[in-house]
Chains A and B, each alone.
Chain A
Amino acid sequence: MTGRQLNRSRISRSCLYGVLILATCGCAYRPTIQHPKSEPIKPEATAYDCGQLDSALLKTDTVRWVIRDDGGTLETSGHRAARYLGNIFLVPLSMGLGGPFYANDAGSAVLDAADHRILELLRLKRAHGCPAGLTSEPGMTDLQMLEKLEPLMPEDGTLDRPALDRRTALLDHLRAPLPPPAVATPPGP
């Protein structure tokens, strides 16, 4: 094998490793049901009473739980930029390997939308003077959690990994411990 052939072989091997590494990004994220992107609060939601707000919170928290349970995580803006850049190379390179393969966002967009919807619902709850609800975070109510979340979820600006991790950890504990399953039951005789 000549030196040039050896170099080519090394380059293609490096490309293949690169493709494989990028392709594994987001592998832990496997949606078992299509994840809808939570919509921002509708104008009519501002007229919700406390019960309706709690119900909407419960539903959005469930959507968020499904995304997390399916492996969804938040990505930093730096990670997103790297992913976009990586995909520019990964997609054409993987075409010859049965692709196209690309690194997905690991559910970051849908999870972020759900997080922000929860934040908005909690703000409405506070604005309406609703009673605070229990959470799984020891010694913290949902309205106290809101105060911790607000600095972690600014309207604009980039966030670092520790801030995203803290926000995720808090929201993972938003709901009080679940009662035993009783919602969907087999009908009686």
Chain B
Amino acid sequence: MMRLETGLILVLLTCVCAGCASRAYAPDTASETQALKIRVGDEVRVVTTNRDRMTFEVTKILDDRFAGVTVEPNAKESRPAGVDVEVPYDSVAMIQVTGFDSKAATAAAVGGLIMVTVALGTLVLTGVPVIIPP
């Protein structure tokens, strides 16, 4: 029984951690890029249709483009840190959020902690695992 509970806890934690991991998107249209809900303060890695690679922190979300400031360049990126960039939504071929806005990240962490606590509490008290809806 104890092993089962430990296993369930591990599965639960894995699911919570997987939810936090960032993934890359290849939006087909500008509206799909906008639908990703990128926020000011997020750090994004982008490849444009012009084969331009860059990582920047978003400083403005405009109607048709992101504005931001480049951060320390990753492999194959040519822009140094601290350069202002503007990237039209329709030129985004690939986008990956590599760092979340600190407020959103804190809220997500607190939310995750509450969910884990509730789930573990229920598991310990009742022995029945709680399935957290997606």
CB distance from A117 to the nearest CB of B (A): 9
Please determine whether B23 and A33 come into contact, CB atoms closer than 8 angstroms.
Answer: no
The residue among B23, B25, B27, B75 with the most chain A CB atoms within 10 A of its own CB is B75
Whether, in the assembled complex, B87 has its beta carbon less than 8 Å from a beta carbon of chain A, the answer is yes
Q: Who on chain B is nearest to A69 by CB?
A: B76
The residue among B26, B50, B74 with the most chain A CB atoms within 10 A of its own CB is B26
Taking a contact as CB atoms closer than 8 A, the residue among B26, B49, B83, B84 that contacts A36 in the complex is: B26
Residues of chain A within 8 A (CB-CB) of B87 are 183-184
Whether, in the assembled complex, B40 has its beta carbon less than 8 Å from a beta carbon of chain A, the answer is no
Please determine whether B50 and A186 come into contact, CB atoms closer than 8 angstroms.
Answer: no
Please determine whether A45 and B85 come into contact, CB atoms closer than 8 angstroms.
Answer: no
Q: Who on chain A is nearest to B32 by CB?
A: A59
Taking a contact as CB atoms closer than 8 A, the residue among A36, A179, A182 that contacts B25 in the complex is: A36
On whether A184 and B26 interact (CB within 8 A), knowing A33-B94, A62-B94, A69-B76, the answer reads no
Within 8 A of B (CB), among A24-82: 30, 32-36, 38, 45, 52, 55-56, 58-60, 62-63, 65-66, 69
The count of residues in chain A whose C-beta lies closer than 8 Å to any C-beta of chain B is 28
Whether, in the assembled complex, B5 has its beta carbon less than 8 Å from a beta carbon of chain A, the answer is no
Taking a contact as CB atoms closer than 8 A, the residue among A55, A66, A178 that contacts B47 in the complex is: A66
Residues of chain B within 8 A (CB-CB) of A184 are 48, 50, 52, 54, 85-87, 91
Q: How far is the CA of A32 from the CA of B94 in the complex (A)?
A: 12
Taking a contact as CB atoms closer than 8 A, the residue among A52, A63, A185, A187 that contacts B94 in the complex is: A63
Residues of chain B within 8 A (CB-CB) of A65 are 51
CB distance from B89 to the nearest CB of A (A): 11
Please determine whether A62 and B48 come into contact, CB atoms closer than 8 angstroms.
Answer: yes
Whether, in the assembled complex, B12 has its beta carbon less than 8 Å from a beta carbon of chain A, the answer is no
On whether A66 and B28 interact (CB within 8 A), knowing A32-B75, A36-B23, A185-B86, the answer reads no
Q: How far is the CA of A108 from the CA of B52 in the complex (A)?
A: 23
Q: How far is the CA of A38 from the CA of B27 in the complex (A)?
A: 10
Within 8 A of A (CB), among B49-98: 49-54, 67, 74-76, 83-88, 90-91, 93-94, 96
Taking a contact as CB atoms closer than 8 A, the residue among A32, A34, A45, A183 that contacts B28 in the complex is: A45
Taking a contact as CB atoms closer than 8 A, the residue among B23, B47, B83 that contacts A186 in the complex is: B83
Please determine whether B26 and A63 come into contact, CB atoms closer than 8 angstroms.
Answer: yes
Residues of chain A within 8 A (CB-CB) of B85 are 184-186
**A interface vs B, CB < 8 Å?**
30, 32-36, 38, 45, 52, 55-56, 58-60, 62-63, 65-66, 69, 178-179, 181-187
Other 5 A-B pairs with CB < 8 A, given A33-B96, A187-B86: A32-B74, A33-B74, A59-B93, A62-B49, A187-B67
**B interface vs A, CB < 8 Å?**
22-29, 45, 47-54, 67, 74-76, 83-88, 90-91, 93-94, 96
